[in-house]
Structure 1
Amino acid sequence: MSKPDSPLVTILDDEPAIRTMLADALEEAGFRTLSFARASAFEAALKTHQPDVCLVDLGLPDTDGLTIVHRLALEQGATVIIISGRAQVQDKVTGLELGADDYIIKPFDPAEVVARVRARLRSTQQPVHSGNTARFQGWTAYFDRYVLTDDAGSETPFSHAEGEVLRLFLSSPRRLISRAQMQESLGGGAGESFDRAMDVRISRLRTKLREDPKNPQLIKTIYGAGYIFLGDVHWS
């Protein structure tokens, strides 16, 4: 059962049966939960609560769920897991591009959701580097604010999910990082789903770092092996 200091998981879904099923499974696993049927009530609760994980349905009655996902990723720094009946690949890609950490398709086994939540929390509670600021190649990454700044002071926000990948690269500069190592460090679903998520996040990081997509200079793909970050990094 949950304790007062247990991680808080919010559930945003307009189907009462799903909210109840998820809340029961998560609370039995030791998490605290808060459930909402509408985005307006959920966003009001964020003013007084800071969730560790947000489960978000895309088909909400009062707001597009993708808008909520993007706002959470950029403004809250919470782990965001989409739970949706939309099974098309493009829906998954869009959700991940907007900052979601994971994507679970309905119908699902509640035990799978609990396992995904635990995996995401492990990856955020055990960062690969404890510093909050990293400087590299004319850029500064502020992981406490989820912002990149260039030498001119221009700011570019990044999502929690993108930040996890960037932190992994910056913690191991000039070293090959395989897909298996990324899976072990970052958690999430394995196989094609994980590979797609990583491809999306790395592509978005390259864009934010103003990399040439055909010839990136910082995040290099080593085909068949993984990735390598080419740059000197200074943490503080």
Structure 2
Amino acid sequence: MNEVISTILNHRSIRHFKDQQLTDEQIKTIVSCAQAASTSSFIQAYSIIGIKDMEKKRKLAEIAGNQEYVAHNGHLFVFCADLSRHELIGEMEHKDVIPSIESTEKFMVALIDASLAAQNAAIAAESMGLGICYIGGIRNKLDEVKELLKTPERVIPLFGMTVGYPEKINDQKPRLPLAHIYHEEEYEQDKEVYMSQLQEYNQVISSYYHDRSSGNRKDRWSEQMAKMLEKQTRMYMKDFVQKNKLNKR
């Protein structure tokens, strides 16, 4: 096993960081690695906003559900789907690019491009001995996030990423079994097979929580997911995205 694979397989979310800021060189390296990610048709439909200002960090931590580690870390990145520069390109080249920019397809491209870039950044940071945690909670109040970060139309802040020197390293959460994720030739549709795999995974996760909480917690994964999905959250998102002139066609 090489070092890259070892770094990837050793991933865990870090939520406690030392009071040590990343250097500008570290930030530049992480962003450069993000830019090295694959991008559909070379469109590069994303932007990254780095947050050093503590007041902005505190505000984003509040928006994300009062998560302290959003404020207290080595650096905070916000990854955005971004097709605003492509509207400008249309103006520069005198081409009508708006129908394409406003399509669901190009919105998906922007989401995928941003996600690929972010995962490259995460692996780069972890290879440097740093820890990371993705922050989807900024989508709780995207109007406030856009105002805080001064993002224009056709730019959607998707998620944050806290990066820093780990103060505390948690146990790694067991993932779904490979057989449940990986299909060959066609999608497995036998519900009995799926249910059996989920039951086995439930036992693994229940044991994980039991051991970490001295027996005070033993929720099953399917139970956890069902409770989470039963609660409707961020249901404003479709209107918000379309208001920002994306995913309209």
TM-score range, shorter chain: under 0.3
Q: Larger strand proportion, structure 1 or 2? A: 1
TM-score, normalised by the number of residues in structure 1: 0.25
The structure whose RCO (Cα within 8 Å, separation 6+) is larger is 2
